[in-house]
Structure 1
Amino acid sequence: MLPADHRLTRPTSFRRAVKAGRRSGARTLVTHLALSEERADGQLVGFVVSKAVGNAVVRNRVKRRLRHAARERLALLPAGALLVVRAQPAAATASYQELVADLDRCLDRSLRTIAVGSGQVEQR
């Protein structure tokens, strides 16, 4: 379970992450990652799973899987990060491993573009 102090619950924070954040998409999900100036001490993660994904049972299963995957990746996010994970309809039939792979791919792309944008380019 995602700890309560890492949950994104305010609609204004969701809007800020979606509008100002770096968008990255995959077959099963889309992520929006933004850095918040007001909250520089931790990371917040929120989830959007619409009725297009499936009935309530399917949506809740997808949310549980995404919460579990996001909890394991909190340490990868920079301080003050606002992450919104939006499930696509394909998430309903995807395995946990597929969801994790898509989340990792999206986070990697978003984190790279944020690092480049802030001047923190990694040397490889």
Structure 2
Amino acid sequence: MLATKNRMRTSANFSHTVRSGARNGRRNVVLYMVSSSPDEPSQIGFIVAKTVGNAVTRNLVKRRLREIVVETIRQYPYGVKVVVRALPVSAEASFGDLVVDYRKAFSSVSSRLAGRNGDVARPTPALSVE
């Protein structure tokens, strides 16, 4: 479960992240990321549309994605805003497939952001997971 301070809730935050953030798409997810103030807690938002499936399926996909992003919050406790959009094929994907797609997308987006403005948050050394 994500802490309240780490949940993206307003449509303005979603819009800003999706429109001005770096993006990377994989088979199951599309990830958008922007760097924010190093004093702000990192925030994560999810977009799981009806095209993914019925309510039960969408909630399953969201629960899986929430579990996956916990690692991101541990590595980047401050300075990052991320929106994860689940694609329709994510309904049939295994947990392992979602993890692989998320990690690859996150790696690609974070390196792209670092190249763009050089101020992307660095992982907390004590909590970094290799």
The question of a shared fold, defined as TM-score above 0.5 by the shorter chain, is answered with yes
Give RMSD over aligned pairs: 1.8
Separation in 2 of the partners of 1:10 and 1:112? 26
Aligned to 1:58: 57
Separation in 1 of the partners of 2:77 and 2:106? 11
Matched residues, number: 120
Any stretches of 5+ residues in structure 1 without a counterpart? none
Identical amino acids, percent of aligned pairs? 37
- The ranges of structure 1 where at least 4 consecutive aligned residues each deviate by more than 4 angstroms after the TM superposition are none
Any stretches of 5+ residues in structure 2 without a counterpart? 120-130
TM-score by length of 1: 0.89
Amino acid across the alignment from 1:33: M
Separation in 1 of the partners of 2:112 and 2:86? 21
Aligned to 1:81: 80
Aligned to 1:104: 103
Aligned to 1:49: 48
Separation in 2 of the partners of 1:44 and 1:23? 16
1:33-87 Cα deviation digits (max 9, x unpaired): 01224x7331000000000000000000000000010012213337321100000
Amino acid across the alignment from 1:107: F
Aligned to 1:113: 112
TM-score by length of 2: 0.86
Matched, 1:40 2:39: yes
